[in-house]
Structure 1
């Protein structure tokens, strides 16, 4: 009862406060594991930068396996982490990419990047960059418009880019911009893996995500805060990929609806630069 009341009150709060409350609940759940395992006590606290529910280690490991199994991650890859959050995938990638590969992670959360820089201070192949890009859910005071975003990587320098639950908080014009920037930084044959809620007939909402039509290509769960969770029409996403000069190589349905085709919660696209 108390937990439901907290959630109900949090839903009425501005995005930053709401995410801090949700993150604090994640932290409370993690306390027993942190106390049992000294290695986990250095994990970042979600109330500072909440990038989603779940176990920091377990989810990071799952996402790493998805990159290996579905996006062809290799130890020699130069990797771009689009929306690196508090480093849960970076923590898994660091030993994989040492010493032959390299990593650049960026995020619109200054606190998230600060946490990553502290965590990986002794890992020279792991670099992190803060971009002060506006987002209604994660950075409402951002000074850079989403459509002006420039990724912190030179042209044709990246082998593998990935965006985990990033486009689920962005409107379609911003998604197109991010896809265009990805195409710029990828080498020929480079890959991008991204997760989304790809809306299709029969898969347009679920118990956890009660999407309602927002515009011609997208749906949201909260009209007050659209970036809280956004689903995009699958055909619109595929068209945006093509317009960016990329090609869809694989599409796997996640288990945010009852029918899933891999172990991820959201739908997974893997695209390549021809």
Structure 2
């Protein structure tokens, strides 16, 4: 792709195998995730990220992971920015307990401790670790600069990497590092599922979010006193950096933060690690 990239769905190449869409059993599972009072649930005062109902948002994204990201029960998942388990809890009901696996990383110790104490004992293939990544909002005393992030897993360790509401809190130079790490960690055929506020220079938000360009670069911000509380990124920069990391961009789907009808709030990037050449 060239500079003509635009914020629109990008048709997947024919070589990408698309599983049959999930049916009624999966719809039942999503309902079960929302209603099952025995699933782990953190105290309301401990939920430090994300708007909306904890369980409802988790079920929503499980639906997106499967329907849009083609996540299969046997796959290995890495959740970058796992927070306090909002994505992990619904995945406990979907991933195969013997073949599937989940690893979550986050800089906030409280979230990691809750997940390790409340999820891992019942679901031992769900693992959580804290990385002391510096962030002005979530971990201001962190020892590891965001531009030096390396996740402690071997190349090709995962089939699915999720970055939900992570790019929306990163400056452009750090986002590039995360994209390269995601590409390194994905096995051939694996997918990156990333949400963002992808700015096309025309749509910059509604009343709730009004983005302004940051220092004439690819970064945008909506809250001047805390730019990384809601960070946007130029869509062409996001796409070019994903491609530069060795990923094949399948789609960049606009979200309803723009004032349009959409199934998700933030924009959604899905990119694939190409199969090895024969």
Alignment TM-score > 0.5, same fold: yes
**1:49–1:109 Cα contact (<8 Å) kept:** no
Aligned residue number for residue 128 of structure 2: 128
Aligned residue number for residue 184 of structure 1: 184
1:86 pairs with 2:84: yes
> Which has the larger helix fraction?
1
Aligned residue number for residue 195 of structure 1: 195
1:99 pairs with 2:64: no
Aligned residue number for residue 226 of structure 1: 227
What secondary structure is seen at the aligned counterpart in 1 of 2:259? coil
Q: CA deviation at 1:103?
A: 0.5
Cα 1:207–1:182 shift into 2, 3 Å: same
What secondary structure is seen at the aligned counterpart in 2 of 1:264? coil
**1:49–1:111 Cα contact (<8 Å) kept:** no
Cα 1:236–1:46 shift into 2, 3 Å: farther
- CA–CA distance in 2 between the matches of 1:77 and 1:58? 23
Cα 1:204–1:114 shift into 2, 3 Å: same
**2:39–2:89 Cα contact (<8 Å) kept:** no
Aligned residue number for residue 75 of structure 1: 73
Q: CA deviation at 1:251?
A: 1.4
Q: CA deviation at 1:223?
A: 2.6
Runs of 4+ more than 2 Å apart: 37-42, 45-49
Q: CA deviation at 1:46?
A: 4.7
- CA–CA distance in 1 between the matches of 2:37 and 2:202? 44
Structure ranking higher on relative contact order (CA contacts 8 Å, 6+ apart): 2
Q: TM-score, normalised by structure 2?
A: 0.82
Q: TM-score, normalised by structure 1?
A: 0.83
- CA–CA distance in 1 between the matches of 2:90 and 2:36? 18
What secondary structure is seen at the aligned counterpart in 2 of 1:99? coil
What RMSD in Å do the two structures reach over aligned CA positions?
Answer: 1.6
Q: CA deviation at 1:179?
A: 0.4
1:238 pairs with 2:239: yes
Gaps of 5+ in 1: 1-36
- CA–CA distance in 2 between the matches of 1:77 and 1:179? 20
Gaps of 5+ in 2: 1-34
What secondary structure is seen at the aligned counterpart in 2 of 1:39? coil
**1:198–1:232 Cα contact (<8 Å) kept:** yes
- CA–CA distance in 2 between the matches of 1:58 and 1:237? 28
- CA–CA distance in 1 between the matches of 2:71 and 2:267? 19
- CA–CA distance in 1 between the matches of 2:103 and 2:165? 17
Would you say how many aligned residue pairs link Structure 1 and Structure 2? 237
Q: CA deviation at 1:75?
A: 0.4
- CA–CA distance in 1 between the matches of 2:256 and 2:38? 28
**2:201–2:234 Cα contact (<8 Å) kept:** no
